[in-house]
Amino acid sequence: MSRENTLTPHVYWAQRHGEIYLRVELSDAQNLNIRVQENTLCFKGQGHGAKGENEYEFSLDFLKPVKAEVTHRSTQRQVNITVKKRERGWWDRLAAQERKPLFLAPDFDRWLDESDAEMELREKEEKLNKILFESRIPKDPYLGLKKGYLFMYNLVQFLGFSWIFVNMTVRLFILGQDSFYDTFHTIADVMYFCQILAVIEVVNPALRLVRTGVLPPLIQVFGRNFLLFIILGAQEDMQNKPVVFFIFYLWSTIEIFRYPFYMLACIDTEWKLLTWLRYSLWIPLYPLGVIAEAVAVIQSIPIFDETKVLSLPLPRALGTSLSFSYILQLYLAVMFLGLFINFRHLYKMRKRRFRAKKKKAN
Ligand SMILES: CCCCCCCCCCCCC[C@@H](O)CC(=O)SCCNC(=O)CCNC(=O)[C@H](O)C(C)(C)COP(=O)(O)OP(=O)(O)OC[C@H]1O[C@@H](n2cnc3c(N)ncnc32)[C@H](O)[C@@H]1OP(=O)(O)O
């Protein structure tokens, strides 16, 4: 307790199950002498307190036994003291005497009631367990290499699709509707390059380089490449149709957001707007893309019938050949099945992404 004729600083306190925190209001404290003797904390020190620059002291008999070792840290504004309780538990008050010493007050910055303190303790334990658990999972020695490879792949695709998108947009502004008719001749080489490279997107999940299934990218890559190489590539008459413009424009619109999103993921970075665009733009674009592709397939059916390109030779008894247009009619039905599978997949990915973000925010 404070003795008469000595200056006493203001002292604020709070407790946890295992320790007592004291905050002594003394700035620029020097010559500190802080110890616990016979369950009494004795404090002496010089500094700037309630009565200006002076020597201040106080002593405090604790309600229950504490350990003899005291830790303290002085900052420019105060001295922080931590005393360990001998037995874990919650104290009704700090001082042995029933009447609270005048210089003592609760530290509301650190104050917790018993149940909050238990919650804090549990959270700390959970965090510690998580760190222990994570430290036991062996780190992947090739992680850097994998991320570097994925980053480069996504960068190349981003550059390719950006070129396509910008080129088509500029041509649309300059030539207007005329640009619809020669999209294929100006864009196809780069589109071939990007779509051949996109086969890697089926390989990546198969090698567990990315966290997704093989089927959705397989449907995506097969669907696009079937259209690009067979329906457009094998039939010159299809190449100057305006539908090619819409297909290429829809493909490149999603990709100029999807690949930068992956690039950022490779360097553990996220831009909220980009994430939102990657997981939202497909909602209108995917069905539009499938409709445009279906229009191209339908337009190509009479051309394949007429030119007999890719028709299957049949034994003489069954006729001369089987037109590729039958395969295309079957493919039209499969396309909508593909749309259903990938639409459901993308919906799940969107939900997973935004649910994970909501959890993080809470
Ligand atoms: C067996 C043969 C069947 C043949 C059936 C034929 C049916 C044909 C139907 C064809 C329909 C195609 C229509 C299509 O061409 C139309 C269009 O494209 S229109 C334009 C709009 N399109 C889109 O919006 C689709 C764009 N494409 C995609 O989104 C993907 O290709 C898709 C496979 C559909 C989904 O991607 P994914 O499964 O990978 O989902 P996420 O993006 O959420 O990624 C999951 C996690 O993996 C990480 N990841 C994935 N790829 C990469 C990468 N390259 N680099 C780095 N990381 C990657 C990603 O970050 C996620 O990780 P985390 O969960 O930790 O964040």
Overall average pLDDT of the 138-144 stretch? 84
Overall average pLDDT of the 306-320 stretch? 82
In the block, tokens 């069905």 appear at: 287
Report yes or no: 9 and 48 within 8 Å, Cβ to Cβ.
no
pLDDT bucket at 4, cuts 50 / 70 / 90:
low
Q: Is the CB of 195 under 6 A from ligand 1?
A: no
Which of 154-158, 207-211, 353-357 is modeled with the greatest confidence? Answer: 154-158
Angstrom distance (rounded) from CA 190 to CA 195: 9
Test site for ligand 1: of 209, 286, 295, 355, most ligand atoms within 8 A of the Cβ: 286
pLDDT bucket at 314, cuts 50 / 70 / 90:
confident
CA of 285 to the centre of ligand 1 (A): 13
Burial 201-221 (b: 16+ CB within 10 A, else e): bbebbeeebeeeeeebbbbbb
User: In sequence order, what E strands does the chain have?
Assistant: 11-15, 19-24, 27-37, 40-49, 52-61, 66-74, 79-85, 104-106, 312-313, 321-322
pLDDT bucket at 1, cuts 50 / 70 / 90:
very low
Predicted confidence (pLDDT) at residue 2 exceeds the cutoff of 80: no
Q: Is the CB of 191 under 6 A from ligand 1?
A: no
CA of 295 to the centre of ligand 1 (A): 22
Query: Exposed, middle or buried by CB within 10 Å (0-12, 13-18, 19+), for 123?
Result: exposed
Whole-model pTM above 0.80? no
Residue having the nearest C-alpha atom to atom 44 of ligand 1: 212
Q: Is the CB of 211 under 6 A from ligand 1?
A: yes
Respond yes or no: is residue 181 known to be catalytic.
no
Q: Which of 286, 326, 331, 347 is catalytic?
A: 286
One-letter identity of residue 148: G
Report yes or no: 232 and 203 within 8 Å, Cβ to Cβ.
no
pLDDT confidence of residue 83: 96
Respond yes or no: is residue 270 known to be catalytic.
no
Predicted confidence (pLDDT) at residue 27 exceeds the cutoff of 90: yes
Q: Which of 259, 293, 326, 347 is catalytic?
A: 293
DSSP letter (8 states) at residue 311: P
Test site for ligand 1: of 253, 346, 357, most ligand atoms within 8 A of the Cβ: 346
Predicted confidence (pLDDT) at residue 263 exceeds the cutoff of 90: yes
When the pLDDT of each residue in the chain is averaged and rounded to a whole number, the result is 92
pLDDT bucket at 361, cuts 50 / 70 / 90:
low
Q: Is the CB of 63 under 6 A from ligand 1?
A: no
Minimum mean pLDDT among 70-84, 121-135, 204-218, 288-302: which range? 121-135
CA of 212 to the centre of ligand 1 (A): 9
